[in-house]
Amino acid sequence: MTNSDEQGIQGGHSIRYLVTRYGEDVKRLIYAYVKNWSAAEDLVQEVFIIVFQKIDTLQKEASVKAWILSIASNKAKDYLRSWHYKKILFTNSISTKVNSESPEHHLLKQQQKTVLSEAVFSLPIKYREVIILFYYQELKTEEISEVLGINSSTIRTRLSRARELLNQKLGGEFNEE
């Protein structure tokens, strides 16, 4: 647990601090699973209710972010197994930040991101989740291992296979930057 996390949690506003610090990461991770912003927002609330209820079980040396993302990952997987999920239509786009580029350049980048997000979302869940956690959440393989409860070498193997699948889907255009 980082010093700022520890200070934020020990203050009187621990859940507010955690929601502010990790809420957006949790929402994006959950969205990567469920592909629906409304459902992701509902699940984020449920995740932080669990965090609030179980904050005392967090070990001092544990990564707060990994612990919260682990709860979020499990909550999203539960949702995907639910009856409710089977009745939902979902969208395959990741929100992008508006920037000051030319409209043509912005549109081209938007199209590339859409193609990439569609390729990522078409991956089997075991590959999609490691790609999302590694590239979008910027977690290290050890942290992904902690979040998913899977051996680090398995995470590296899944990342490698996911990259191969993305290269096949994108015609060798997957950029690993």
Give residue limits of the domains in the chain.
Answer: 1-91, 99-177
The residue whose two tokens read 């203050």 is: 11
CA atoms of 158 and 128, how far apart (whole Å): 9
Residue 136 is classified by DSSP as I
**Residue 132 DSSP symbol:** I
1-91 CATH fold: Rna Polymerase Sigma Factor; Chain: A (1.10.1740)
Using a cut of 0.75, tell me whether the model's pTM lies above it.
no
**Per-residue pLDDT, 91:** 32
Q: Cβ distance 154 to 162 under 8 Å?
A: no
Query: What confidence score (pLDDT) does residue 112 get?
Result: 73
CA nearest neighbour of 32 among 110, 127, 107: 127
Per-residue pLDDT of the chain (177 residues), as tens digits, is 555 555 545 444 478 899 999 999 999 998 988 888 888 899 999 999 999 998 888 877 678 888 999 999 999 888 887 765 554 433 333 333 444 556 666 677 777 777 777 888 888 888 988 988 888 888 888 888 888 889 999 999 999 999 999 888 887 765 554
pLDDT at 88: 43
Tokens of 93: 């786009």
Domain 99-177, CATH among 3.40.50.12780, 1.10.10.10, 1.10.3210.10, 1.10.1840.10: 1.10.10.10
Question: Which pLDDT score, from 0 to 100, does residue 26 have?
Answer: 93
